[in-house]
Amino acid sequence: MRIRNSAKTYGSIAISLHWIVAVLVPASWLSGQLGEEMSRGSEELALFAHISLGLAMLGVALARLAWRLADPPPVPEPTRLGAWTVHAGEIAHLLIYGIMFAIPVLGILTQFASGEALPVFGLFDIASPWRADRSFAHDMKEMHEALANGLMILIGVHVAAALLHHYWLHDRTLKRMVPGLR
C-alpha cells in the first residue's frame, strides 16, 4: 500500500492516523464518564487515565491535521445524490476537527481553573497558572462535557454516512478508508 494519498485513495499514514483517533476519541469519552461514577479513592487515578487518553488524542489529532495539510486527501467520490453530499461531508469533517481540538483545550482549562496541575503522562506536571475558581471550573467542565457529547453525536452521523455510502450508494468512500474491504 502506498504511504501518501493519491487523487483516488487514502495512503497508509492517513488511514492509520484516522483509526488511531477513532479509538482514542470514544476511549476518552468513556473514561470521562467512568470518572464521574468512581468512588472517592479511584477518582484521582480515573482522572489521570482520562487526561492521559485526552492528551494522546490531542497529539494524534494534531499529527493528523499536519499530515492532512502536507498530503491532501483524495477527491471525494461522486455520488448519485449530487454535490451537496460532498459539501455536507466537508462541513462535518471541519466540525469534527474543530471540536476535537476544542475539547482538550476546555479540559485543560477545567483542570487549571480547579487550581490543579496538569499531569503529562506521569512524566511531569504543568502547574496551574491560576488560583482555584469553582464557578469558572464548573462552566468550563459543562462546556467540555457538552462538546464531548456533541462530538459523539457527530461521529454517529459520520459513521451512518460512511455506511450509507457503502451499502446504499455503493461507492468507494468506505473502501478507501478500510483497506481490504470488498
Residues that bind ligand HEM (CB under 6 A): 18, 21-22, 25-26, 28-29, 32-33, 35-36, 47, 50-51, 54-55, 57-58, 68, 73, 76, 89, 93, 96-97, 103-104, 107-108, 110-111, 141, 144-145, 148, 151, 155, 158-159, 162, 173-174, 176-177
**Degrees, nearest 5: CA angle 170-175-181:** 105
Q: Angle formed by the axes of helices 134-167 and 12-37, to 10°?
A: 130
CA distances from 94 to 15, 29, 87, 88, 99 (A): 17, 20, 11, 10, 9
Count, residues in the chain: 182
User: The cell 501518501 sits on which residue?
Assistant: 4
Q: Which residues lie across from 118 on neighbouring strands?
A: 126
Q: How far is the CB of 42 from ligand HEM (least distance, A)?
A: 11
Q: How far is the CB of 84 from ligand HEM (least distance, A)?
A: 14
Distance (Å, whole) CA 166 – CA 71? 25
Name the grid cell of 158: 459520520
Comparing CB distances to ligand HEM, the nearer of 36 and 125 is: 36
Comparing CB distances to ligand HEM, the nearer of 13 and 32 is: 32
Q: How far is the CB of 55 from ligand HEM (least distance, A)?
A: 5
Please, are residues 73 and 14 in contact by the beta-carbon 8 Å criterion?
Answer: yes
Q: How far is the CB of 41 from ligand HEM (least distance, A)?
A: 14
Q: How far is the CB of 26 from ligand HEM (least distance, A)?
A: 6
Name the grid cell of 169: 450508494
Comparing CB distances to ligand HEM, the nearer of 26 and 115 is: 26
